[in-house]
Amino acid sequence: MTPLVATPVVAVIAVPAAAVVVLAMVSNYRLGAILNVAFSALSLAAAVWLLMAGPFVTELFLVDDFNIFLILLNGFVGCTTAIFSATYIGHELEVGRLKPAFLRLYHAMYQAMMGAMALALMSNNIGLMWVGIEVATISTVMMVGIYRTPQALEAAWKYFILGSVGIALAFLGTIFVYVAAEQQLGGGLTSMAWTNLKASAATLDAGLLSLAFVFLLIGYGTKAGLVPLHAWLPDAHAEGPTPVSAVLSGLLLNVALYALLRFKILLGGNPATIPGGPVLIALGLISLLFAALMLYRRSDIKRFFAYSSIEHMGIVAFAFGMGGPLANFAGLLHMTMHSLTKSAIFFAVGHVAQVTHSQRFADIRGLSSSHPGLAVALALGVLAIAGLPPFGVFVSEFLVVTSTFSRQPLLAVPFALGLLLGFGALIWRLQDVLFGRPEASYARREASLLPVYIHMILVLIAGLWLPDPVRRWFETVAAQLG
């Protein structure tokens, strides 16, 4: 690794690490919020610097076409979420929902989560990747329970228990991969480097690799929110601060799925192992259909969009399970579009909950007349995530459907049914929220919607035109995924 390349790698990790130390000592909210935004902007700048520095590999770190776009997405959404968080958490303090004593914890854990996700994405060492996801999980657990209400503590505890079980199973899977590699590559870091594992995949013990993938699928599948491993996700979204929901849906689910896909590539290099594709297809289809049906029974707006995240993780898993250049391209595009769109939706939902003093759909009516700017922002996000043109989500879903119809027509029928069910629930709820008679008790507070519109502009541009460098980027990664 040359010094020129090493510097941005260190920066991507060092910036959030320094931010944790600094923000843990800042008790003034205004200063803490400003510093949180500043450090997040520096992390985004470090990610851009890393992109410009180009690919590299060591036994500990790896930057290639696959993870660099996720690192960049991680920095961008982390920065816009920090901007949204500044006004959102300030209002939570004003109304007394959040105690000032927990501000240092909130900002420090936010940066710890962002840094841990970046570490997991950049790790060439499969053990270091596991550590990054584990730290991100613990940081998120502490943020979910920060309101200290019985419901928030219960949600945090459920997340901790289920997440710990999942990460423990992923740890066992990692050990099995190491044991399989040790027989061919010897011990130490060499046997834990993903690039070495990929190069030697055909010579590794197929039985051990297959067993490892089962544990990794359950472990990282829990983090990705795939059904039936999803039980923690709706509660964590509903009871935690909305910025946490935005980052959970927009980033952490992607990181877990990324780890799973790295191991799927290993299985693809050894034809004697169990096929990972059909398993992902099954989990993706089950997640899509289950979540789409559950949308009709949700009365809490944040819990509703949590199930929407499960639905879209199902779409992504289904696409990668299908495999091939077109389906993989669609999966990568959908990961990106979902991250941008769902985080924007949670930005809008957070402001909706604050002005209406409720998260229940029954208490949220007539935003188009009481808060027209907020209504437009929320409507744009919902229409985009529902898969309507000309937004980027429509393009990615259309590509998945097209690829499936051309290769497995019978699978395309339940997949399209799941999309239609989810579409119906989203449009139904959007009508309830936008129209009707608003309550007189709604706050007249003006919300900062800039992060929402920045995200939605990008999603709209992706639906109309993908720049050639971005398109070639996705095509290259799609080919890597097999």
What is the spatial distance between Cα 370 and Cα 276, in angstroms, rounded to a whole number? 50
Task: Confirm if 140 and 34 have CB atoms less than 8 A apart.
Answer: no
Q: Could you report how far apart the first and last alpha carbons of the chain are, in Å?
A: 28
Burial 50-85 (b: 16+ CB within 10 A, else e): bbebeebbbbbbbbbbbbbbbbbbbbbbbbbbbbbb
What is the spatial distance between Cα 237 and Cα 144, in angstroms, rounded to a whole number? 8
Task: Confirm if 447 and 351 have CB atoms less than 8 A apart.
Answer: yes
Q: So what's the pLDDT on residue 441?
A: 66
What is the spatial distance between Cα 24 and Cα 102, in angstroms, rounded to a whole number? 10
Domain residue spans of the chain: 275-482
Find the helix or strand (DSSP H, E) in which 112 lies.
Answer: helix 103-122
DSSP 362: G
What is the spatial distance between Cα 70 and Cα 68, in angstroms, rounded to a whole number? 5
Which amino acid, 123?
A: S
Q: 3-state DSSP call for residue 97? A: coil
* Overall pTM > 0.75: yes
Question: For the chain, what's the residue count?
Answer: 482
Q: So what's the pLDDT on residue 95?
A: 82
Q: So what's the pLDDT on residue 80?
A: 96
Q: So what's the pLDDT on residue 94?
A: 84
Q: 3-state DSSP call for residue 281? A: helix
Distance of CA 471 to the CA centre of its chain: 21
Q: So what's the pLDDT on residue 465?
A: 92
Can you give the pLDDT of all 482 residues of the chain as single tens digits?
A: 455 456 888 899 999 999 999 999 998 888 999 999 999 999 999 999 999 987 888 889 999 988 999 999 999 999 999 999 999 988 888 888 888 888 899 999 999 999 999 999 999 999 999 999 999 999 999 999 999 899 999 999 999 888 888 889 999 999 999 999 988 888 788 889 999 999 998 999 899 999 999 999 999 999 898 998 888 999 998 898 999 999 988 888 999 999 999 999 998 888 889 888 999 999 999 999 999 999 998 999 999 999 999 999 999 999 999 988 999 999 999 999 999 999 999 999 999 998 888 899 888 888 888 888 899 999 999 999 999 999 999 999 999 999 999 999 999 999 999 999 999 999 999 988 888 777 666 766 656 789 999 999 999 999 999 988 889 889 999 998 87
Cβ neighbourhood burial of 21 (10 Å; 0-12, 13-18, 19+): exposed
Burial 178-215 (b: 16+ CB within 10 A, else e): bebbeeebeeeeebbbbebbeebbeebbbebbbbbbeb
Q: So what's the pLDDT on residue 445?
A: 63
Task: Confirm if 412 and 404 have CB atoms less than 8 A apart.
Answer: yes
Q: What's the CA angle centered on 138, arms 220 and 279, to 5 degrees? A: 10
Cα-based distances in Å from 429 to 21, 233, 359, 379, 402? 42, 20, 13, 10, 28
Q: So what's the pLDDT on residue 370?
A: 84
- Cβ–Cβ contacts within 10 Å for residue 94, how many? 12
What is the spatial distance between Cα 188 and Cα 3, in angstroms, rounded to a whole number? 25
